[in-house]
Structure 1
Amino acid sequence: MKHLTILSKIENYMDRFSPAEKKIAVYILENAEIVPNLTTKDISANTGSSEASVVRFCKTIGIGSFKSFKLALVRDLTVAEFNINDFSVTETKDEPFELFNKVTYVNKAAVEATLTTVDKKELDKAVATLLQAEKLLFYAVGGSAVSAIDAAYKFTKLGYTSLTSLDFHTMLPLAANLKSGDILIVISTSGRTKDILEVARFAKKRGATILAITKLDPSSPLYKEADIKLCTPDVEQDHRIGSIASRMTQLNIIDTLYLAMFHRIGKSVLDKFTETREEVVRLRR
């Protein structure tokens, strides 16, 4: 795995590390795949070093925090190792089952990486805000659009007025009818898509809360505009054949919100769930 940016950098810095940092470096090189799911306390216990040494190790290689280090490592593991999502895929000779294994690994690693990017306080805030909302409007474009459609469908089942459209000109009148207490949920990997930003700003003027599902990038316009930020790891390249790992992280967050709401209001909609299920079964006959 020497071609991976972060791991290669660790190897190159071996002579600069203190004895404690070197133990941490060796552990990470030998266990890179599990490190994104560990805490500084875990690394400390597994290497016999202090948590302060883990932080110093990150700073030695030019990364400000262990959280940022894990994000960089996840990007290397999911994108650079297999290159399954850029145009170089045309140069490989992988059989379908080999690609299946690679896609599975990349998706799994990306979903697990959301454990390091989703802030607990922001997630709690999202659920508390959803509990008070009457109308939900979902918007995404491109590869993220399927995530918006899935979310709108799920929350409709919970009894919300839950709307979405793939068309920008349809979204504008929908956003114009939002009010204080309503929520616009926008989904964007980059956080820089013009249509997404225009709708978000328009809805904000109407008094709606803006909930963004976007990559962890404090410099992005969407990150700055959002009232609530549920962040995904940066696992996609700029030049890619499609949204693969990023879509899985979006769906993972949406499923979490859906289950959190079902956990809180599910009893009030169980009868409707049962009626819907019975109707579906009846129509199959």
Structure 2
Amino acid sequence: MSSLLLRIEQHLNRLPEAERKIGEFILKNPELVPNMTTKDLSKNSGVGESTVIRFCKSIGIGSFKSFKLELVKDITLTDMNLTDFNILNKKDEPYDLFQKVAYVNKAAIEATPSSLDRKEFEKAVDVLANADTLMFYGVGGSAIAALDGYYKFTKLGYRCTNHHDFHFLLSAIPHLNARSVFIAVSMSGKTKDVLDLSRFAKAKGATVIAITNIDKSPLYKEADIILCTPKVEHDYRIGSIPSRMTQLTIIDALYLSVFHLKGENVINQYHEARDEVVRLRR
């Protein structure tokens, strides 16, 4: 049981009856709560909406939003230890591992709305819609999400750059300006190359959008716009699996949001590219 759920269980008998009903519902259905509003939770618990806020304060958390973030962090780190080295202690069959991978990826995606701030996301879409140049950068597992963003936004007609070579991007950043956007992807938010390039891009007037964990990392503090992913993996792991899924989900949502704004202007180019793909099939 996660530390937050354990705290609720320990407080349960000391809570007033109405708050105890909320605690009991959460203990039975922890995975449902991150996507609920206070109204949803009060209705499912059979109590008034104000009781939800009192419950949060009773267990030492100031708001329902903060409570959900703590719950997401605890649930995901408890359930998604698939990529830490303890996996070697379990003798899973290949198909068992397939099922676990499917589960942790699904859970990571479902946890993402609880960590992502709606206003920050809408700011990111607005900035991207009015940008002329985009630069995507990530290293390790995060490089996959950066490459996916580069691929998708190039299809929308943007001048995009993505490269694994740090020095190559150092030579490209001086050409950025106030209508440029640097999209930095980093799970930990502590990767030195990502931070150095983000700071350089910001100094040239570009807007820095960070796709990073909800923990207040150096990148979180440096960026102009922060798109937070839930903490679904430890830094020390055998590979990026659920964390990569959260990053790709945000990239997909940004792409579709901008496509909705600009799609009519590029639909002919989409059809033209598709026709060529069909013609050149071998």
Do the two structures share a fold, i.e. TM-score over 0.5? yes
**Alpha-carbon distance in 1 for matches of 2:62, 2:103:** 28
CA distance in 2, matches of 1:164, 1:92: 39
Paired residue type of 1:176: P
- Residue from 130, 152, 155 that aligns with 1:154: 152
- Whole-Å Cα distance in 1 between the matches of residues 66 and 222 of structure 2? 22
Change (3 A) 1:275 1:170: same
Structure 1 runs, 4 residues or longer, greater than 4 Å off: none
Which residue, 9, 12, 15 being the options, matches 1:14?
A: 12
1:253 counterpart letter in structure 2: I
Structure 1: gaps of 5 or more residues: none
Length-normalised TM-score, structure 1: 0.94
Pair 98,78 (structure 1): closer, same or farther in 2 beyond 3 Å: farther
Of the three residues 261, 266, 269, the one matched with 2:263 is 266
Equivalents in 2 of 1:59, 1:106: separation in Å?
30
Distance 2:157 2:82 in 1: 39
- The answer to whether the aligner puts 1:90 opposite 2:70 as a matched pair is no
Q: Which amino acid aligns with 1:55?
A: I
Q: Give the count of matched residue pairs.
A: 282
Q: Distance in 1 between matches of 2:89 and 2:138?
A: 32
Give the 3-state SS of the residue equivalent to 2:176 in structure 1. Answer: coil
Matches within 5 A, 1:105-120: 105-120=103-118
Letter aligned with residue 180 of structure 1: A
Asked if structure 1 preserves the Cα contact closer than 8 Å seen for 2:18 and 2:51, the reply is yes
Q: Classify the secondary structure of the residue corresponding to 2:141.
A: helix
Equivalent AA in structure 1 for residue 234 of structure 2: Q
The alpha-carbon deviation at position 32 of structure 1 amounts to 1.4
Aligned residue for 1:142, secondary structure, equals: coil
The CA distance in 2 between the partners of 1:125 and 1:163, in whole Å, is: 21
Corresponding position of 2:3: 5
Residue from 242, 248, 258 that aligns with 2:245: 248
In 2, Cα distance between the equivalents of 1:81 and 1:261?
34
- Cα deviation, residue 72, structure 1: 2.5
> Is the 8 Å Cα contact of residues 136 and 146 (structure 2) preserved in structure 1?
yes
Give distance in 2, aligned partners of 1:141 and 1:130: 22
Q: Matched residues in 1 for 2:96 and 2:60: separation?
A: 35
In structure 2, distance between residues paired with 1:215 and 1:96:
30
Q: What pairs up with 1:218-229 in 2 under 5 angstroms? A: 219-229=216-226
The structure-2 alpha-carbon separation of the partners of 1:60 and 1:240, relative to structure 1 and needing over 3 Å to count, comes to: farther
Q: Is the 8 A contact 1:154 1:258 kept in 2?
A: yes
Secondary structure at 2:280 match in 1: helix
The match for 1:183 is 181
TM superposition shift of 1:151: 0.3
1:123 aligned partner: 121
Report 1:43-122 matches (<5 A): 43-81=41-79, 83-122=81-120
Q: 1:4 touches 1:81 (CA, 8 Å); kept in 2?
A: no
Residue in 2 aligned with 1:206?
Answer: 204
